[in-house]
Structure 1
Amino acid sequence: MRVSKQQAEANRAHIVETSAKLFRENGYNGIGVADLMAEAGFTAGGFYKNFASKTDLMVEATALCFERTKEKKITLNKEEFIKRYLSPEHRDNTGTGCVFAALSHDAARQDDSVKTLFETGLEAVIQSLSVNSPAEREKNIALFSQMVGAITLARSCPKNSPLADEILTACLHQIFGEEKSSESAAPDEE
């Protein structure tokens, strides 16, 4: 049965949306075309009617992730963005979370089309954190690198790991210059 052009476009968009989530959960090389298509509700045979290669789908799905990040970031100020980014909710939802934390290590092993997309996306995030001088740009690069590193390390711990929570809390304290309360300090002696 032949589908309308409108339905074909909707199907393609659904494949891209599903792939964006699955790539973040499994990595680019951690899931094959057949599994991506099955999860989207289609047969593997329909893949090449929509995409020339898996790399083309990777680029399109990753671009969608960057667009969604940009949309979310627009509604938040810098402090809110940092706090949401370094939250247990973000840590625990890889499939809908930051594409940098989920896929940077995989992107480094891909061809230049994927790497260029990551570079462009990274530049957009750095700029969105507010860059008014070379010194501020440098701070924002270091800040976002720290944030991605914290989420990546926290995700590498088992679920409900106290260390995973500690990583996020320590990073937040360091970023916002908060002193950690000393719960184990000895009481004042009289």
Structure 2
Amino acid sequence: MRYPAEETAEKHQRILEQASILFREHGFYGVSVSEVMKATGLTHGAFYNHFDSKDDLIAKTIAAASSKALASMKEAEHTPEAMQEYVQNYLTEWHRNDPGTGCLMTALASEVAREPSVQPAFTRHLKGVIVSLMAPFAKSKKRNVRRDAIHKISSMVGAIVLARAVDDPVLSEEILREVRNSLE
């Protein structure tokens, strides 16, 4: 039975969204295709109408999450103040506590490092983030804008990763606070 194209596209998007959340929370191999499909309310068999394999799902999930994240950053590219607000909002307890809907880099970078098939999509995403972080300063006389953007995203991602990893809530909050303050 064929479904209307709109319904198929909606199901495809639902699979990508649920996979993105589950992969960020549990890692690529901490989640099965069956679990992704169950989270979407679809059967395991329907998966192959949308994706060739789990690796295909992973790559497309990274690409979709990247598009969404870069669109969000685009709104902050207009002024240095807007980008500063974006950075400060990134380094929050909310973001630390919600890996399923947070930054794909903080949740999946170590997984991507072991998955060469996903690295090109992740690399495109990181390059896009760097460009976005540079955008508000493109017309300024500021030197080393690219270096500053790379430093900023590395600090942001590292802060979230470390704040999630420690079992000391005071230290976790201190990490976020100190990196926020250093990036003001």
Letter in 2 for 1:75: E
Supply the RMSD in Å over aligned alpha carbons: 1.7
**Who is 1:46 aligned against?**
46
For 1:51 and 1:172, how far apart are their aligned partners in 2? 40
Distance verdict in 2 for CA 1:57–1:147, change over 3 Å: same
For 1:155 and 1:164, how far apart are their aligned partners in 2? 7
* TM-score of the two chains, using structure 1 as the length reference: 0.85
For 2:99 and 2:112, how far apart are their aligned partners in 1? 16
Within a 5 Å distance, the mapping from 1:1-190 to structure 2 comes to 2-76=2-76, 77-112=82-117, 114-130=118-134, 132=138, 135-158=144-167, 161-176=169-184
Moved over 4 A (4+): 131-134
* TM-score of the two chains, using structure 2 as the length reference: 0.88
Letter in 2 for 1:124: G
Which deviates more from structure 2 when the two are superposed, residues 52-61 or residues 126-135?
126-135
Distance verdict in 2 for CA 1:119–1:134, change over 3 Å: farther
Please state whether the residue corresponding to 2:29 is helix, strand or coil: coil
Which deviates more from structure 2 when the two are superposed, residues 125-134 or residues 44-53?
125-134
**Who is 1:181 aligned against?**
none
Which deviates more from structure 2 when the two are superposed, residues 96-105 or residues 20-29?
20-29
For 2:114 and 2:143, how far apart are their aligned partners in 1? 30
Structure 2 residue ranges without an equivalent (≥5):
77-81
For 1:69 and 1:5, how far apart are their aligned partners in 2? 26
Structure of greater Rg? 1
Q: Higher relative contact order at CA 8 Å, sep ≥6: structure 1 or structure 2?
A: 2
Which deviates more from structure 2 when the two are superposed, residues 25-34 or residues 131-140?
131-140
Count how many residue pairs are aligned between Structure 1 and Structure 2: 174
For 2:3 and 2:68, how far apart are their aligned partners in 1? 28
For 1:7 and 1:27, how far apart are their aligned partners in 2? 28
For 1:91 and 1:147, how far apart are their aligned partners in 2? 11
For 2:10 and 2:181, how far apart are their aligned partners in 1? 44
For 2:129 and 2:87, how far apart are their aligned partners in 1? 12
For 1:79 and 1:151, how far apart are their aligned partners in 2? 17
- Paired-residue identity, %: 33
Structure 1 residue ranges without an equivalent (≥5):
177-190
Deviation at 1:3, TM superposition (A): 2.7
Deviation at 1:157, TM superposition (A): 2.7
